[in-house]
Amino acid sequence: MLEPKIAEAVAQEIATRLRLFGLSVHRAEHQGQIRLGAVGDSAGVDWKAVRGWSGVADVSPFPRPFQLVSRTFHPHPTVITVGRCAIGSEQLALMAGPCSVEGEEQAFTIAEQVAKAGATILRGGAYKPRTSPYSFQGLGEQGLKLLRRAADAFGLAVVSEVMDTPQVPLVARYADILQVGARNMQNYALLHEVGHADRPVLLKRGLASTIEEWLMSAEHILSQGNAQVILCERGIRTFETYTRNTLDLNAIPVVKELSHLPVIVDPSHGTGIRDKVAPMARAAIAAGADGLIIEVHHDPDHALSDGAQSLRPEQYRDLVDQIRTIGKVLGRTL
């Protein structure tokens, strides 16, 4: 913690001196006071001496293993602006679209419908991690091109999944947000690669990951310099078999207390059942989520992936109206 109203030159000098110890230094400001997060192997650092440096108000250790994502370091909420949406603000982020891009007509039809309903970000997969190698794997770069064109036609931003490190620059060429899927939450090479990208990252919670493991994965991204991380609760695998996953709404208030990063919810994968998506979406907003990412398809019975959990456009439109009403009670807008 630096002294209030410290000269910028002094703040930079302190950061430089910390880097000479081999530490990575990250900066945050809260209520006019600069905080420097010094991360790395600090075994040889005399912190009592650092506390005595000119301009230093206090020195304290991070209380948890996740450091840069914690509210200890960054007390105020992070807001990430993407297109017309400020994710993490009073505005609720509505991301919607097909599980996977199947063709031009499908992409444009769904983009138009979700935009009319109130979504600001079009979701869609061009590279699909599937349990079976014989299932539809996505259209690759052609799918990204279709997604971008459909989004631009209706004033939407794009979020799409990246599955491997070589794909990062390619997906970043077309998408405004890079999605790291649940199966890749602990793919540390990929986390480091998106940590170097100039795009926000949507980080989905792993199928059987604890909240701390999830936040530590976010820490990997922030440690590489990319502080634009959006956390996504998408359900975890439990003993329950009546739904595809168990949507852990407890995670929303827990993470909002521990971290400054925005949290959105995916009730489509969280339930896996079309008529369960809307109730859980409403509950997620009531629990404090900063937004929703929902699968929508104009012909879900013939979708190439995840049709059983995809809302029809009219169902999505009704849900957005309900979300608007719930949001007003909580001081949130669309």
Chain-wide mean pLDDT for the chain?
Answer: 95
| DSSP label at residue 230 | E
Q: What is the mean pLDDT of the segment spanning 206-227?
A: 97
CA atoms of 203 and 220, how far apart (whole Å): 11
Handedness of CA 165, 170, 171, 176 (dihedral sign): positive
The C-alpha angle 30, 36, 37, rounded to 5 degrees, equals 110
Give me the pLDDT at residue 135, please. 81
- In angstroms, the Cα distances linking 254 to 41, 156, 214, 218, 283 are 28, 31, 12, 15, 15
Helices assigned H by DSSP within 141-234: 141-153, 168-174, 188-195, 211-223
Contacts of 176 (CB under 8 A, 6+ apart): 82, 83, 121, 157, 158, 159, 199, 200
CA distance 216 to 194: 15
Confidence at residue 136, expressed as pLDDT on a 0 to 100 scale: 80
d(CA 262, CA 274): 25
Report d(CA 49, CA 304) in Å as an integer.
62
Least confident of 4-8, 108-112, 156-160, 324-328: 4-8
Q: What is the CATH number of domain 80-329?
A: 3.20.20.70
Domain ranges of the chain: 8-51, 80-329
Place of tokens 């990951």: 209
Lowest-confidence pick of 52-66, 150-164, 165-179, 287-301: 52-66
Give the whole-angstrom CA distance, residue 273 versus residue 314.
17
